[in-house]
Amino acid sequence: GDSVTQMEGPVTLSEEAFLTINCTYTATGYPSLFWYVQYPGEGLQLLLKATKADDKGSNKGFEATYRKETTSFHLEKGSVQVSDSAVYFCALTLDNYGQNFVFGPGTRLSVLP
Amino acid sequence: GAVVSQHPSRVICKSGTSVKIECRSLDFQATTMFWYRQFPKQSLMLMATSNEGSKATYEQGVEKDKFLINHASLTLSTLTVTSAHPEDSSFYICSAPGGQETQYFGPGTRLLVL
């Protein structure tokens, strides 16, 4: 079945450090890929998405490129802030209507001042 | 953007009581909503798909009689945890599809059963 794998956390960085959170997927077709962020005590918020190969999603300084050849969608940010501390979920869907999402296990990021 | 709300945000109840959680789509209609459960430091587990005007579709291993879902209108779905026990304590999150391969998530409801 379809699945998403993320690097295990927690990831602890100092402020202004470079961030990479790896995400790879397995899917039977050509999925759309997402990164969601969950701040403490809150629900998930869409961070960015990409719907086809070589697309780059970006938002709030975060970027991820849809790599079909490596089935990956790694999340990067050049300079993290304390406010970026959260749990990040990689997800995919093969559905055009926003249904049937498959989530990765999540990666907890802690950014220290 | 689209907003999904949940109520209550936090609830504490005694073992054996029932708890109702509401999920509302505030500025769009949702014929389908999803209910997830999230254990501490874990990912979301899809519990069921709520369908307006028809029965909910439950994932394997989720007790239908334990987690009652009602989707009475195009903007409201409710999850009732019946005869709650401490092992039902969790973070419950609802979502609604927003088209363009997107889901909009509610802020979650933290349930603590004593």
Residue whose tokens read 């403490």? A40
Contact A49 B101 (CB under 8 A): yes
> Residue A42: its pLDDT value, please?
81
3-state secondary structure of A50: strand
CB neighbours (10 Å) of residue A75? 24
List of chain B residues whose C-beta atoms are within 8 Å of the C-beta of residue A97 = 97, 99, 101
Per residue in B3-49, pLDDT (tens digit) is 899 999 999 999 999 999 999 998 888 999 999 998 877 788 899 99
Distance between CA atoms of A100 and A26, rounded to whole angstroms?
A: 14
Beta-strand (E) ranges in chain A?
A: 3-6, 11-14, 19-21, 23-26, 32-38, 44-50, 56-59, 62-65, 75-77, 86-93, 101-103, 107-112
What mean pLDDT do residues B48-65 have? 92
> Residue A70: its pLDDT value, please?
96
pLDDT(A109) > 90: yes
List of chain A residues whose C-beta atoms are within 8 Å of the C-beta of residue B104 = 46
| End-to-end alpha carbon distance in chain A | 41
Highest mean pLDDT range out of A38-42, A61-65, B95-99? A61-65
Distance between CA atoms of A18 and A70, rounded to whole angstroms?
A: 22
Contact A51 B101 (CB under 8 A): yes
pLDDT(B101) > 70: no
Confidence of residue B70 (pLDDT cuts 50, 70, 90): very high
Contact B43 A108 (CB under 8 A): no
> Residue B42: its pLDDT value, please?
78
Chain A interface mutation, best of B11, B103, B112, highest count of A Cβ atoms under 10 Å: B103
Confidence of residue A17 (pLDDT cuts 50, 70, 90): very high
pLDDT(A98) > 80: no
Torsion of CA B55, B59, B62, B68, to 10 degrees: -20
Percent of chain A with pLDDT strictly greater than 90: 74
Residue B31 to chain A, least CA–CA distance (Å): 11
